[in-house]
Amino acid sequence: MNAEQTDQLNRAGLREAKRHSGFDIRKKTDGEIWSTDIRRPDWVDSQLYPFEDRWMILDGHRVHYVDEGPRDAPVLLFVHPGAGWSFTYRYHIQQLKNEFRCVAPDLPGYGLSEAVDGYRYTLQEQADVLEQFVEALDLRRIVAWANDGGGPTVVLALSDHTDRVLGLVVGGTFGWSIKPYRMVVWPLRVFTSRVFRAVNRYTNFLAWSMGSKMALGTRALTKAERGQYTLPFKVRNSRNRTLKLYASFLDHATQEALDRVLPAFRDKPVLIQFGEKDAMTREQWHMRWADELPHNRTILLPGVRHFTFEGNPEGTVQNFRDWWNEIRETLNEPALAAGTV
């Protein structure tokens, strides 16, 4: 991208920002290109989320993201679950940003990002945005870290860019057609039904559950932490975006695409971290990942349910460090093998 295009993108971002109440323009403090310099809303807790805000305009979407750590280090690309946002990986970013470039986008309609009119919140659309995001920042030497809807998003987004990918970290997620899994498909149809959509619209249940012991298994988040999941969905009409995403998991073309492209990652190392008490573990999805990607290390986290990043953040980081130290010498990059990055 040349200077003229960068300037056009910045000006487009500023125009877009001015259309939305609650986001004020502040004076630019650095030379980051593509930053629209939008002030974060008051509900964001800066003690819990102590990162610099960065923004770009992608295909009309105003995308917020975190980009912390050395620019020449391997990239940890954190892809949030359905009702989450970059806040989801706050602990991981804080712990790993000295060794890795930690990049965490808010996908359109989640966290601090806003979607363009007409966006349908489907898995394929979400993957298309992530693909554009990776290309816009020219991210390489990526380890993609995903949970829940983040897994298939990564598979679809990066299957044509596996030359950019070093490996994967997955937990409580899938990367294939779920059609054969009747005990997943049936609850998913109920979960995305008109009745539940009405309930969620008035209760914000999905966002609330992100911080509950029901979803984490080992603990419940504090009131302040839970607020960072519920407050992005203060407007009732925004609350069923995640259910639209989940409904799209059943789309025939999307399921075929997943089965077609997952083999592109077969030679990549993968760290599989599933909660011992996750319903996805009962479906043996951790073993499915191991079958699909044979260069794996598989760990079940005791007592943890679906959201591993909140259920055991310390354990998932330590497991990652151990796995990374094991595989770095196999990645055919002298600097990694030498331990200098």
Name all domains of the chain by residue range, CATH numbers in brackets.
Answer: 40-338 (3.40.50.1820)
Q: What is the pLDDT of residue 336?
A: 54
pLDDT tens figures, 131-163? 999 999 999 999 999 999 999 999 999 999 999
Residue 227 has a CB neighbour count (10 Å cut-off) of: 18
pLDDT tens figures, 85-111? 999 999 999 999 999 999 999 999 999
For residue 255, give the amino acid letter: Q
Q: What is the pLDDT of residue 19?
A: 42
Q: What is the pLDDT of residue 332?
A: 65
Alpha carbon distance 194, 269 (integer Å): 40
State the average pLDDT over residues 42-54: 96
* Residue 151 or 30, more confident: 151
Alpha carbon distance 73, 93 (integer Å): 14
CA dihedral 228, 234, 237, 239 (to 10 degrees): 30
